Amino acid sequence: MDIKNTGLKMINTLSDLFLRDLEKLKTEISSFRDEKNLWKISGDTHLDGGQVKNSSGNLCLHLCGNLQHFIGAILGNSGYIRNRDAEFSQKNVPIRELVAEIELTSKVVKQTL
């Protein structure tokens, strides 16, 4: 088994998955007609009985922050400084800004992986 080729295939696969899912996230965020709904918590219950505690907008910020931190800053030495608390406390970020953050995150993933 060629470890180097296996590692490269794994990196390419992970990059493809991240980019695919970021594109899906961008589509979902863009589909909100009323920006206020991005920041609502549904109150739905999970199978384990727990409740949904984060809005779509905050989950978007959190996913982007996570990838920019671990892939961009840790692996790529991008200089990104994460503010995890803000990922959950920010509200009413416009859709266009969330989409721009997703696109920036995709760029970081492409450049790093």
- Point out which residues pair with 51 in neighbouring strands: 45
> pTM of the entire structure?
0.90
Residue 10 burial by CB count (10 A; 0-12/13-18/19+): exposed, middle or buried?
exposed
Residue 87 burial by CB count (10 A; 0-12/13-18/19+): exposed, middle or buried?
buried
Q: What is the pLDDT of residue 45?
A: 63
SS3 state of residue 45: strand
Radius of gyration of the chain from Cα atoms? Answer: 16
Q: What is the pLDDT of residue 42?
A: 75
Q: What is the pLDDT of residue 3?
A: 84
Q: What is the pLDDT along the chain (113 residues), one digit of tens a residue?
A: 688 899 999 999 999 999 999 999 999 999 999 999 999 987 766 666 677 789 999 999 999 999 999 999 999 999 999 999 999 999 999 999 999 999 999 999 999 99
Phi-psi region of 94 (alpha: psi -120 to 50; beta: other; left: phi over 0): beta
